[in-house]
Amino acid sequence: MKITPEDVRKVGLLARLEVGEDEVGPLTEHFNTILDYFGKMEELDLSDVDPFTIEDAEPLKLRKDEPVRWENRDAILDQSPSREGDFIKVPRIGGDA
């Protein structure tokens, strides 16, 4: 599978990035280089490797999940460009609601 310049333009559009025509060629080449690395990984024989085994991994040390009042909450809310009550309002980035 190869990435085409049209693919780069479409990803840029979906990610809401301004991709100039002078950037499309180098980005296409860059993405194809990344895909080539993944292609090399497909050549490895992993038939006897358990994908769910993590070697030398220590168990995660999890803390108890407790709500904590943050003292600077109002300062952050006062600095936000758009606020709705006690929440920071952000623009919708996808989907219809």
pLDDT digits (tens, 9 = 90+) for 42-83: 899 988 888 888 777 777 888 899 988 888 888 888 888 898
| Average pLDDT over all residues of the chain | 88
CA nearest neighbour of 1 among 48, 34, 50, 49? 34
DSSP 83: E
Give the per-residue pLDDT at 34: 95
Q: Is the pTM of this model over 0.85?
A: no
Please state the rounded mean pLDDT for residues 83-92: 87
